[in-house]
A and B are shown apart, each in its own frame.
Chain A
Amino acid sequence: MNASERPRLGRGVRLRREGDGSAMLLVPEGALMLNGTAAATLELLDGHRTVGDIAGALAERFDVDVERAQRETGELLQRLAERRFVELP
């Protein structure tokens, strides 16, 4: 996924974060249980931030460099976009 893409959650898709730190993505077909970094990534999707912006924010919060954060979040978003859970306006 290109670093300049500005992803957002798809129609009918909601991120649900619980007090115990767990998170799930509610989609029409069911739910996706997210690990911590996937949840942190999806919380940043607003249709304005680029994938590069998101990777930079994650690199500040987690012990990961921007290059790896961008590659791995890009892979996650690509998987979700293929199923229309994430949109690329």
Chain B
Amino acid sequence: MKQRWERPDFEERPLG
């Protein structure tokens, strides 16, 4: 069973 693909993405977080 393959995992669901989604567009690779990221969310930036400042070092806070």
**Which residues of A are in contact with B by a Cβ distance under 8 Å?**
24-25, 29-38, 40-41, 58, 61-64, 68-69, 72-73, 75-76
Contact = CB atoms under 8 A, between A and B. Distances in A.
Contacts, number: 60
Contact of B7 (A29, A30, A31, A37): A37
Interface of B: 2-16
A52 to B, nearest CB: 16
Contacts of B5: 37, 58, 62-64, 68-69
Nearest to A77: B8
Nearest to A64: B5
Contacts of B2: 61-63
Contacts of A31: 12-13, 15
